[in-house]
Amino acid sequence: MSLFEEPAQSVFSEKKMRNYIASADRYFTMYADETELASMGVACMTFLYASIFVATHYQVLDYSSMLTLGGGMQSLGFALLHLLVRNRKSVAGVSGKSLQLYLLSILFRLSSTLTSHGYIPTDKTGDWLIQLADISTLLIVLQLLRRVYRTNAETYNETQDSMPIVPFIPFALVFSLLTYGDMNGKPFFDFMWMVGSTLDTVAMLPQLFLMTSIGGKVEGLASHYVACMHVSRACTFSFWYFAYPDVEPLGGGFNHCGYAIVVLHLAQLLTSGDFMFYYLKSAKEGKELILPMFSV
């Protein structure tokens, strides 16, 4: 046995790792309410600031500010979902698998946007606001995952939340490897951003699958969450629809990355389009949102 093997085993043993996690969890439990309220507050303020800033400066802002507005809508959507879970102390109707995909998507995207500036707004909102939207969303997603798998685990619809998500990960890696661009000028971070965008495209699918599997009435905040995410992706799609030519390779050639980005964002709108039809119909009629049940 080498001199370094024993200390490594001592530090990274399963027992010690469990103890580290348990200690961190106990610390978080002590301040769970404060942390959750702070995260929702930051997310809501991010939405308000993004909306007000874009609305009051639209004449001098670049069209890329639509990305900022999309980030603000994303923050609002997850804040509404978290508020729903906190108020009713239940995660019924919330897909843990969807949250896992969003967690991975945001982590991949932040690894790019926190280190490079190729895929963020070119106006001053790209200096921090778009990243803040993802960071606030990330904190809420982590707290929701804790509620799904620990705090309120007894209310989780585990049986109905049955869409396989593991195949999405190799698909995202391979698709991104074939289509990533060079906006960052750093292949690794260009690849990471594309992986995040690809996972973001499929992240809502388990949530929609769960809702249609359960069927029936959808609570207001839960429906607003999905609607906010749809509007968020509509904002980002509207930007990339006009901006995709700018992603053309520096050396010329087929713009595979630009077309891939447009297809990914369009796919997000199409996958939630059916839900939005029922959502807008219920809003127009002033009735509760009721989804038809889909039997698997």
- 14 falls within a domain: no
Structural domain contains residue 227: yes
In a domain, 5, yes or no: no
In this predicted structure, what is the pLDDT of residue 227?
Answer: 93
Q: Quote the domain boundaries for residue 188.
A: 25-291
Name the helix (H) or strand (E) containing 107. Answer: helix 96-113
Q: Tens digit of pLDDT for each residue in 211-270?
A: 888 876 787 788 899 999 999 999 999 999 998 998 888 777 889 999 999 999 999 999
Dihedrals phi, psi of 150, to nearest 5 degrees: -140, -70
The 10s digit of each residue's pLDDT in 25-38 is: 665 666 667 777 78
Query: Cα 271–212–209 angle (5° rounding)?
Result: 55
8 Å CB contact between 173 and 237:
no
Q: For all residues of the chain together, what is the average pLDDT?
A: 84
Residue 292 — φ and ψ, nearest 5°? -70, 145
For residue 223, tell me if it sits in a domain.
yes
* Confidence tier at 56 by pLDDT (50, 70, 90): confident
Is 60 among the domain residues?
Answer: yes
d(CA 87, CA 104): 26
Q: Would you say residue 15 lies in a domain?
A: no
Is residue 135 a part of any domain in this protein? yes
The domain tally of the chain equals 1
The answer to the question of residue 19 being in a domain is no
